[in-house]
């Protein structure tokens, strides 16, 4: 089994890269998706978040108001740390179980947005960084995700710097251009991961 960590700043195009890797045969373990699962209604994770942040972070249907919680934690590093202390151990546990279910010859790609921030690079056989200029990230967040420039900048500022991510990279995929320029880069990284 080859274990790769995939990361990149918000708006870098990590989801597009992970979709391409899956299309080639990778087993994807998506930390963001798992982070949503562990705080679904009825879970111990959601109960812990409500205990920490109050019932104001819930929607009328009892589910987590993710944008509302995001506006709290991305503006306050201490509140972000409190949320991470609840969610990260739950994500780690479920990720480990999913990895154990992959076959021994698999290429398992862990999509981990906060890989650099949490010093997780040593956990993987290789780290793949999807890189985009901050101006590209900002444009994508505003144009494609409907964030205000202020919201987008706050999200970007809450993450590792571009330089911090590049410093841990074994492979860098440049995603400032069109999809046609991205696909050959991802294919090359996939071939490298399979050969390990």
Mean pLDDT, residues 21-47 taken together = 96
- pLDDT, the chain, mean: 94
Give pTM, 2 decimals: 0.83
pLDDT over 90 (residue 179):
no
What H or E segment, with its residue span, contains residue 67?
Answer: helix 66-73
State whether residue 24 is helix, strand or coil. helix
What are all long-range contacts of 62-68, with beta carbons under 8 Å and residues at least 24 apart?
A: 64/39, 64/40, 66/36
Domains delineated in the chain: 2-191 (3.40.50.300)
Say which DSSP state 129 is in. E
Q: For helices 77-101 and 66-73, give the axis angle rounded to 10 degrees.
A: 130
| Other Cβ atoms closer than 10 A to 13 | 21
Mean pLDDT, residues 10-26 taken together = 95
Smallest Cα–Cα separation from 84: which of 158, 195, 187?
158
Mean pLDDT, residues 8-14 taken together = 94
- Would you state the pLDDT for residue 74? 83
- Would you state the pLDDT for residue 118? 87
Q: Tell me the residue ranges of DSSP E strands in 69-159.
A: 107-111, 126-131
* Distances 33 to 49, 133, 196 between C-alpha atoms, Å: 17, 25, 27
Q: How far is CA 24 from the centre of its chain?
A: 20
Smallest Cα–Cα separation from 57: which of 88, 93, 84, 83?
83
Would you say how long the chain is, in residues?
196
- Would you state the pLDDT for residue 26? 97
| pLDDT tens-digit series, residues 116-175 | 998 999 999 999 999 999 999 999 999 999 999 999 998 899 899 999 999 999 999 999
State whether residue 74 is helix, strand or coil. coil
pLDDT over 90 (residue 64):
yes
């Amino acid at each position: 089994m080859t274990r790769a960590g995939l990361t990149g700043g918000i708006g870098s195009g990590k989801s597009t890269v992970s979709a391409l890797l899956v299309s080639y045969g990778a087993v994807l373990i998506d930390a963001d998706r798992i982070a949503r699962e562990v705080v679904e209604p009825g879970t111990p994770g959601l109960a812990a978040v409500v205990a920490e942040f109050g019932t104001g972070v819930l929607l009328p249907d009892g589910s987590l108001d993710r944008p509302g919680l995001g506006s709290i934690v991305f503006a306050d590093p201490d509140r972000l740390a409190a949320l991470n202390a609840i969610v990260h151990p739950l994500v780690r546990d479920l990720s480990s179980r999913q990895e154990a279910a992959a076959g021994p010859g698999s290429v398992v790609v862990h999509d981990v947005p906060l890989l650099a921030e949490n010093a997780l690079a040593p956990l993987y056989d290789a780290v793949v960084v999807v890189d985009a200029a901050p101006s590209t990230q900002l444009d994508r967040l505003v144009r494609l995700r409907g964030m205000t420039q202020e919201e987008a900048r706050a999200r970007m500022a809450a993450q590792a710097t571009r330089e911090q991510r590049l410093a841990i990279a074994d492979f860098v995929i440049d995603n400032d251009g069109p999809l046609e320029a991205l696909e050959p880069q991802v294919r090359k990284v996939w071939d490298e991961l399979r050969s390990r």
